[in-house]
Amino acid sequence: MMVGRAYLDLAQAGIDDSPLSAAVAARDNDVLRMVRRALRERDIMLAYQPVMRAGGGSVPAFYEGLVRILDKTGRIIPARDFVHAVEATELGRMIDCVALELGLSALEEEPTLRLSINMSARSVGYPYWMQTLNHGLGRDPTMGERLILEITESSAMLMPDLVTVFMKDLQHRGIAFALDDFGAGFTSFRYLREFFFDIIKIDGQFIGGIARNPDNQVLTAALISIAQHFDMFTIAENVEAAEDAAFVQAAGIDCVQGYFYGAPSVTPPWKHPARGTKRTA
């Protein structure tokens, strides 16, 4: 927790007062206050969702650690409800730092765990983020081989040249990279070739209901083919039905993720608390 105090100091100082567009200011100001309070009170956690190998096996290939915050009433708030407001602000960078810190702590606590953590390309080069990574790997350098960093397609394309250099540097330390929401944005194939992502996660909008949607079947097949051409591991997101799971497996997907296989849980699945039940989020 070396840099945790710095996060709280920044939150209390109100350093997140970055200008927001006038169209979303009123709504986002409430969200910013909620996130700022959660950071100040350390009401932030990861919810763990399994990523399974297609075609069988009960042991997850890895887990994705999804950021959650608690509001002042104790409700668990998923990232989709606040990330739009914080993505371009200092709070967004702080969220990325705390998520990485929590992920590294989980990797240190459970030596058999492989875990993916989301980050924005805007956090590339952010000093506290790199300090958090270096501090964690300094305690156990082998954690890098079990860490996957997920960057969304739209985020990566904000600064592709910087992301490319960043990835090459950290891949030398054993860290893998996943391109999240593949197909949702407008990736230049020139950059896709140069990025050298290890994993491609096909956006859930193409996967949900795919067994009954011929258009999405064609698009998903094309995305799988592109990933395979560049020797990238493929994951289908948002798998929620048995027929969709069967279809993507037959299409050649490597791994699957979604509620059909398991909901995100804020209780680490590798722990077995004596009392209480798992909370999904």
pLDDT for res 188: 60
Report whether 122 contacts 93 (CB < 8 A).
Answer: yes
In whole angstroms, give the CA distance from residue 237 to residue 257.
Answer: 5
pLDDT of residue 276: 43
How far, in Å, are 114, 115, 180, 216, 275 from residue 148 at the CA level?
Answer: 8, 6, 11, 27, 31
Identify which of 67, 30, 32 has the alpha carbon closest to the alpha carbon of residue 49. 67
Q: What angle do CA 67, 73, 74 make, to 5 degrees?
A: 40
Handedness of CA 209, 114, 181, 45 (dihedral sign): positive
Q: Spell out the domains of the chain, with CATH numbers in brackets.
A: 4-257 (3.20.20.450)
pLDDT tens string for the chain (281 positions)? 455 555 555 555 554 554 534 554 556 688 999 999 999 999 999 999 999 999 878 899 999 999 999 999 999 999 999 998 899 999 999 999 999 999 999 999 999 999 999 999 999 989 999 999 999 999 998 999 999 999 988 888 888 889 999 999 999 999 999 999 998 876 666 677 778 899 999 999 999 999 999 999 999 999 999 999 999 999 999 999 999 999 999 999 999 999 999 999 999 888 765 444 456 77
- Are 198 and 233 within 8 A, CB to CB? yes
Q: Kindly report the number of other CB atoms within 10 A of residue 208's CB atom.
A: 18
Q: How far is CA 121 from its chain centroid?
A: 12
Name, in order, each residue with C-beta under 8 angstroms of 263's C-beta and a sequence gap of 6 or more. Answer: 49, 280
pLDDT of residue 196: 86
Strand partners, 39: none
* Paired strand residues for 44: 69
